[in-house]
Structure 1
Amino acid sequence: MIGRLLEAQLQQRWDSGKALVVMGPRQVGKTTLLTKLCQEAGAFQLLNADEADVRNQLENASLPRLRQLIGNSQTLFIDEAQRVRNIGLTLKLITDQLPQVRLLVSGSSSLDLANEINEPLTGRKFEFRLYPIAWKELVDSLGFMEAHRQLETRLLYGFYPDVVTHLGDERAILQQLSGSYLYKDILTFGGIRRPELLDKLLVALALQVGAEVSYNELARTLQIDRATVESYISLLEKAFIVFRLQPFSRNLRHEISSSRKIYFYDNGIRNAILADFKPLSLRADVGALWENFLVSERQKVLHYTGQWARSYFWRTHQQQEIDYLEEQDGAVCAWEFKWNPKAKARFPKPFLETYTPTQTLVIHRDNFDEFVGA
């Protein structure tokens, strides 16, 4: 099994007396990781909220019922907790009235779970995210050379655990993942009445990876209103399918301040949506794949290392641009992304003079490991 970087963070908080909440997309290994930790700790109770009878027992549960469910177990693991109504109140009851019980919670979507638990569990939880396999996790598992041999494969097929561990079956697995299964929570909780629009929106977003996205343009293309576009993209974010980067704008008059870029958490899902797994040598979107890979991997690095940094891109109306920025403790770092190590990139003089970044670097396929935490 590929070791997960989040394991160390969870172990550090294991006996904190607070609920440990792990959220992330379906099929990234949340159940596997938490079950492993529970087994190592001793007796535990696993309640899978995908099962109807489990949901019935946990909805509006009383303290006596919870005592009966947990029994003598030291640890309670509630899997897919977003499917339980009023789960926040149930979790609060456990943390307040059963302090001897170690409480673990997983959720495949923040659609309902975040809203349900934030207020009841204020001061009673630590929240984490588990992503698809990180590049560093792949390197730690396979070794530096073998991981680099797989770089093109990973740019095409991504990092979902089943995809990584089943070489040769990637397309079939991604076809299953990128269908309704991955969007199950959106369709269940999001109130989407026209799923076909979701498919069209995903294709449009997949084609615009690395480019600025206009909600008004998407609305015209899909023949829907802008508010619906914003709502659907918000749902896709809460289901951990895509995430947004906002433009960095502080001082310069001609900086773009109202657009955004949208990336996929996983290259494989992006390519599956387009049904396009051609090798890199035959693709016109290698730059977009490389950028999506680097930006999504960087989000994993920031989360797993506990760095509090804000991520941006930068662009002016004169087409001056920088692919990716981070702002941390008042300092700004800037990176340009090029697949070809020989490609040249220059950082615009107005940006350098105005923001005096502490680091500027071009990231290419020969020097990317440190950027993605390996």
Structure 2
Amino acid sequence: MIRRIVSGAIQENFFKKKAILLLGPRQVGKTTLLRQLAETGSSGVLYLNCDEPDVREDLQNTTSTALRVLLGDKQVVFIDEAQRVPGIGLTLKLLVDQFPDVQVIATGSSALELAGGVQESLAGRKFEYHLYPLSTAEMVAHTSRRDEQRLLEQRLIYGLYPEIVNHPAESARRLLELVDGTLYKDALALQDVRKPAVLQKLLVALALQVGSEISYYELGQTVGTDPVTVERYITLLEQSYVLFQVGALSRNLRNELKKSKKVYFYDNGIRNALIKNFNPLALRNDSGALWENFMISERIKFNHYAGLRPNYYFWRTHAQQEIDWIEEANGQLLAIEFKWNAKAKARIPNTFLQAYPDATPVGITPENYLQFLI
């Protein structure tokens, strides 16, 4: 069993009269992790799977009396896929307020309904955590630095979903099944998505442009819809933890890009499954993009689990000068260039250094990447 970094922090907050929420995409191990934690040292666990209609009915528009009957003498109530219950926020509030000695744990794979319905109801009553696909730090702790360095190309192509890591010989088939079976499920359920085919085309188009600046208008032309729909669908995909957008840093120079965005995927394997390309790096022309996406998604995991919340940007000017990744924390800028070719020298443009003289430049290659992620 690969130990998840966040498990210790979650366990420390058991029985503190607050609900524990664990958010993240499907199939990253939320259920496995919380069932392990819930069953540690407690014989009274009530497991409620909200994929089941009768469970949703029990939890929707309920009362404290009905909840008392449902709980019985259980010490822990584990509500899986809680976002599927309309008004789940009020139910969770009732559980926390009326049953202070019961530990409430809820998982959700879509941020909009779970977080949106819970923020007001559970203000001051919750601990919230995010779980991503396995991180490089977790894998190094499970295996070793040497093993992860040897498996780097595997990670760049197939990613770090637990099922993929545990079944490397079946990675391609399982990734394709994951994309077809669950990737769109939450985005389609979040709102009235009237054009699921457009959503799928959009995902493929975004996968082909990973690490590049995107245009809602041009994407709309490509997939056959309007820019407003493109923006809404990308937001849904963000809320389903499939991908994320990064904006441009623009403060000091007149010719800095101001409103541009880039898109990255939380997992390289998902990205490659969308374009159905699992070729080895020697046969690809997107190795640099894969390296950039991998390093950025891993860095986000590292910062999140370390309790760090920097602002993220890229930087580019109209003159095509650019920096891959910028982190801003406590007024300090970290300017990072990712180079898949270890012999290629990372260069931070002098224009940037003159405009932001206090920034710290960093070059990341396969030779030094682990120190950036663990």
Other-structure match for 1:344? 345
The CA deviation at 1:186 is: 1.6
1:210 and 2:214 are equivalent in the alignment: no
Map 1:1-374; keep pairs closer than 5 Å. Answer: 1-42=1-42, 43-372=44-373, 374=374
Q: 1:21 is aligned with what amino acid?
A: L
Conserved 8 A contact 1:28-1:132:
yes
Unaligned stretches of 5+ in structure 1?
none
C-alpha distance in structure 2 between counterparts of 1:167 and 1:269, whole Å: 15
Aligned residues: 373
The CA deviation at 1:358 is: 4.3
Q: Report the 3-state secondary structure (helix = DSSP H, G, I; strand = E; otherwise coil) of the residue aligned with 2:371.
A: coil
Q: Residue by residue, what CA displacement relative to the aligned partner does 1:125-182 show, whole Å, maximum 9, x if unpaired?
A: 1111100000011111111121221110110000000000001010111011111422
C-alpha distance in structure 1 between counterparts of 2:41 and 2:302, whole Å: 27
Conserved 8 A contact 1:213-1:259:
yes
C-alpha distance in structure 2 between counterparts of 1:218 and 1:144, whole Å: 40
The CA deviation at 1:351 is: 1.2
Conserved 8 A contact 2:21-2:129:
yes
Conserved 8 A contact 1:82-1:107:
yes
Q: Which TM-score applies when normalising by structure 2?
A: 0.98
Q: Report the 3-state secondary structure (helix = DSSP H, G, I; strand = E; otherwise coil) of the residue aligned with 1:370.
A: helix
Q: Residue by residue, what CA displacement relative to the aligned partner does 1:174-225 show, whole Å, maximum 9, x if unpaired?
A: 0111114222122223211111111110111001111111111111222211
Q: Report the 3-state secondary structure (helix = DSSP H, G, I; strand = E; otherwise coil) of the residue aligned with 1:334.
A: strand
Conserved 8 A contact 2:110-2:240:
yes
Q: 1:20 is aligned with what amino acid?
A: I
Conserved 8 A contact 1:333-1:357:
no
Q: Percent identity?
A: 50
Unaligned stretches of 5+ in structure 2?
none
Q: Which TM-score applies when normalising by structure 1?
A: 0.98
Conserved 8 A contact 2:21-2:128:
yes
Of residues 178-187 and 277-286 in structure 1, the stretch that sits farther from structure 2 once superposed is: 178-187
The CA deviation at 1:309 is: 0.6
C-alpha distance in structure 2 between counterparts of 1:41 and 1:354, whole Å: 56
Q: CA RMSD in A?
A: 1.0
